[in-house]
Amino acid sequence: MEEHFKFRHVHSITGTFVLVVLVILVAALVFAGRSQRWFIGNVALQIVLPEEGAAGIRQGSEVYFLGTLVGSVSDVRVDQAGRMEAEANIRRDFFLFVRADSSAVVKRKFGVGDAYFEITRGHGAPLPNNGASIVCNEQLPSALETAIEEIRSEAVPALKKLNAGLDTWTVLGSGLATTREGIDQLIVRANGILKDLQEGKGTAGKLLTDPAAAEELKTLLGKANRSMDELQVTLTDLRTTSENLQLASANLPAISDTIGAEVKDLPGLVLQTQISLRELERLIEAMQKQWLWRKHVNKTDPPPLRPMPADEEPPRKVVSPRPPGKR
């Protein structure tokens, strides 16, 4: 009897323990379900994708609402109109804020990561629980994407310029290598010339090493300086002469006019001179024929300077014969 009592309590204890374990499991499941939102229902939402394509959206892509993860994409398919659409499961408590004027935008995490939906909050009519649909607008760049695009737009031209600069430096380096060879040759030649100068070869070497040649060069330079001074004086005289010629050239028209006037008067002066000479000849001839001067005049009459015309022949005075006995 006592042994039967022991087995009966063992079964009770075992059953109690099993019940406690079951309660704990149920409580854990409830707690896990609440934490994982298993008991909050989801609503299927159709998101019509843009004509450009899915833009990286695939099964399992996340769906955000006002920055909060509210669901994920369960499928991507093509509807009867030929448009791609994504089926997303949205939490029921957040679905209440999705309205008819809400829309979805495709974004990427950090600008380069996986694509996800960002649903905007609407203020229109509420959507039905079955067959709800919104439109996905074109992909909007995020701030990071905009910054990356700006950096890219600035970096690409800079890289192109850098490549052009590198090409220029490459060409310049090749040219410098060639130029360096020429400079080396020039230095070798310069060293040879300096060596010849030190040894006194050539005219320059003699001038540097021979005192007599240097003295002759100094004398020659002194003469050259004096010649330059004389040339300067000559140039000054030539400049003065040129100025006088310019002044004479300025007065030349007046002098030419005066000479022209004198030349015009010259024929009259010559004619007057000729007339005066003819009158003087007639006067001299007349005086020679006077009896008072005849004995003092040479009997040999010189020929006249110019034969006198017949119409200008002076009248000869007829001398009557003197009576005999009178002197």
Question: In the chain, where are the structural domains located?
Answer: 1-39, 42-140
Q: Which two tokens stand for residue 118?
A: 């960002």
Note the pLDDT of residue 318.
Answer: 41
What pLDDT was estimated at residue 144? 59
Helix, strand, or coil (residue 74): strand
Give the CA distances from residue 266 to residues 262, 271, 279, in Å, rounded to whole numbers and listed in that order. Answer: 6, 9, 20
By three-state DSSP, how is residue 303 classified? coil
Whose tokens are 């649903």? That residue is 119
Burial-class residue 138 by CB neighbours within 10 Å (0-12, 13-18, 19+): exposed
Q: For residue range 78-115, what is the model confidence (pLDDT) as tens digits?
A: 878 778 888 888 888 888 888 888 888 888 877 667 88
- pTM assigned to the model: 0.35
Residue 47 phi, psi (nearest 5): -115, 115
Q: What pLDDT is attached to residue 190?
A: 83
The position carrying tokens 């003699």 is 206
- pLDDT at position 39: 58
Residue 228, SS3 per DSSP: helix
Amino acid symbol at 180 = R
Strand bridging mode 42-48 / 132-136: parallel
Tell me which residue of 51, 45, 148, 146 sits closest to 104, measured CA to CA: 45
